[in-house]
Amino acid sequence: MEQIEFNYPAKRKVPKGAHVGVVGSGDLEVLLEPAEGEVAHVSIRTSVDGFLDTWKAVLDRFFTKYDGAVRIQINDAGATPGNVQLRLEQAVEVSER
Protein backbone atom coordinates (compact mmCIF):
# COMPACT_ATOMS: atom_id res chain seq x y z
CA MET A 1 0.00 0.00 0.00
CA GLU A 2 1.25 3.48 -0.86
CA GLN A 3 0.32 6.82 0.68
CA ILE A 4 0.36 9.86 -1.63
CA GLU A 5 -0.41 13.53 -0.81
CA PHE A 6 -1.12 16.47 -3.14
CA ASN A 7 -2.02 20.15 -2.68
CA TYR A 8 -3.78 22.34 -5.25
CA PRO A 9 -4.83 26.01 -5.11
CA ALA A 10 -8.53 26.64 -4.42
CA LYS A 11 -10.76 29.70 -4.90
CA ARG A 12 -14.19 29.02 -3.34
CA LYS A 13 -15.95 27.45 -0.38
CA VAL A 14 -17.83 24.17 -0.89
CA PRO A 15 -21.37 23.83 0.57
CA LYS A 16 -21.17 20.25 1.90
CA GLY A 17 -19.23 17.00 1.90
CA ALA A 18 -19.77 13.88 -0.19
CA HIS A 19 -18.95 10.19 0.07
CA VAL A 20 -19.00 7.99 -3.04
CA GLY A 21 -17.68 4.60 -4.09
CA VAL A 22 -16.45 1.49 -2.37
CA VAL A 23 -12.96 0.02 -1.81
CA GLY A 24 -13.74 -2.96 -4.04
CA SER A 25 -11.55 -4.46 -6.75
CA GLY A 26 -11.04 -1.89 -9.53
CA ASP A 27 -12.96 0.74 -7.59
CA LEU A 28 -12.24 3.40 -4.99
CA GLU A 29 -13.85 5.39 -2.20
CA VAL A 30 -13.80 9.21 -2.28
CA LEU A 31 -14.51 11.35 0.80
CA LEU A 32 -14.79 15.03 0.02
CA GLU A 33 -15.09 17.55 2.88
CA PRO A 34 -15.21 21.35 2.88
CA ALA A 35 -11.95 22.92 4.15
CA GLU A 36 -10.84 26.37 5.29
CA GLY A 37 -8.42 28.53 3.33
CA GLU A 38 -7.46 28.59 -0.33
CA VAL A 39 -6.12 25.10 -0.74
CA ALA A 40 -7.38 21.69 -1.76
CA HIS A 41 -5.60 18.80 -0.08
CA VAL A 42 -5.72 15.30 -1.54
CA SER A 43 -4.66 12.27 0.47
CA ILE A 44 -4.50 8.91 -1.31
CA ARG A 45 -4.06 5.36 -0.05
CA THR A 46 -3.73 2.88 -2.87
CA SER A 47 -3.21 -0.86 -2.86
CA VAL A 48 -1.16 -0.61 -6.07
CA ASP A 49 2.36 0.81 -5.57
CA GLY A 50 4.40 2.77 -8.11
CA PHE A 51 1.79 4.88 -9.93
CA LEU A 52 2.65 8.31 -8.48
CA ASP A 53 2.99 9.87 -11.96
CA THR A 54 -0.38 8.53 -13.06
CA TRP A 55 -2.11 9.84 -9.90
CA LYS A 56 -0.49 13.24 -10.46
CA ALA A 57 -1.65 13.35 -14.09
CA VAL A 58 -5.26 12.44 -13.16
CA LEU A 59 -5.42 15.00 -10.33
CA ASP A 60 -3.64 17.74 -12.33
CA ARG A 61 -6.33 17.38 -14.97
CA PHE A 62 -9.17 17.26 -12.39
CA PHE A 63 -7.96 20.47 -10.72
CA THR A 64 -7.76 22.39 -14.01
CA LYS A 65 -11.59 22.53 -13.78
CA TYR A 66 -12.26 22.21 -10.03
CA ASP A 67 -11.49 25.08 -7.62
CA GLY A 68 -13.24 24.10 -4.35
CA ALA A 69 -11.43 24.36 -0.98
CA VAL A 70 -11.67 20.75 0.14
CA ARG A 71 -9.99 17.83 1.85
CA ILE A 72 -10.22 14.77 -0.36
CA GLN A 73 -9.46 11.30 0.96
CA ILE A 74 -9.13 8.53 -1.62
CA ASN A 75 -9.03 4.86 -0.63
CA ASP A 76 -8.17 2.94 -3.79
CA ALA A 77 -8.33 -0.75 -4.62
CA GLY A 78 -6.72 -0.62 -8.06
CA ALA A 79 -9.12 1.62 -9.99
CA THR A 80 -8.14 2.69 -13.53
CA PRO A 81 -7.41 6.42 -14.13
CA GLY A 82 -10.77 6.74 -15.91
CA ASN A 83 -12.58 5.29 -12.92
CA VAL A 84 -10.76 7.66 -10.56
CA GLN A 85 -11.77 10.63 -12.71
CA LEU A 86 -15.43 9.50 -12.73
CA ARG A 87 -15.57 8.98 -8.96
CA LEU A 88 -14.02 12.43 -8.35
CA GLU A 89 -16.59 14.04 -10.65
CA GLN A 90 -19.36 12.08 -8.93
CA ALA A 91 -18.17 13.33 -5.50
CA VAL A 92 -18.22 16.93 -6.77
CA GLU A 93 -21.71 16.44 -8.21
CA VAL A 94 -23.02 15.07 -4.89
CA SER A 95 -21.36 17.85 -2.85
CA GLU A 96 -22.94 20.59 -4.98
CA ARG A 97 -26.38 19.06 -5.35
The site for another protein (CB under 8 A) is made up of 1, 17, 19, 22-25, 27, 29, 31, 33, 45-47, 73, 75-77
Complex with another protein: residue 6 or 34, whichever CB lies closer = 34
> Which value, to the nearest 10 degrees, does the dihedral of the CA atoms of residues 55, 58, 60, 64 take?
-160
Nearest-approach distance from CB 19 to another protein, in angstroms:
5
Complex with another protein: residue 9 or 52, whichever CB lies closer = 52
Complex with another protein: residue 71 or 89, whichever CB lies closer = 71
Nearest-approach distance from CB 64 to another protein, in angstroms:
27
> Distance between CA 73 and CA 29 in Å, rounded?
8
Q: Which residues pair with 74 in a beta bridge?
A: 30, 44
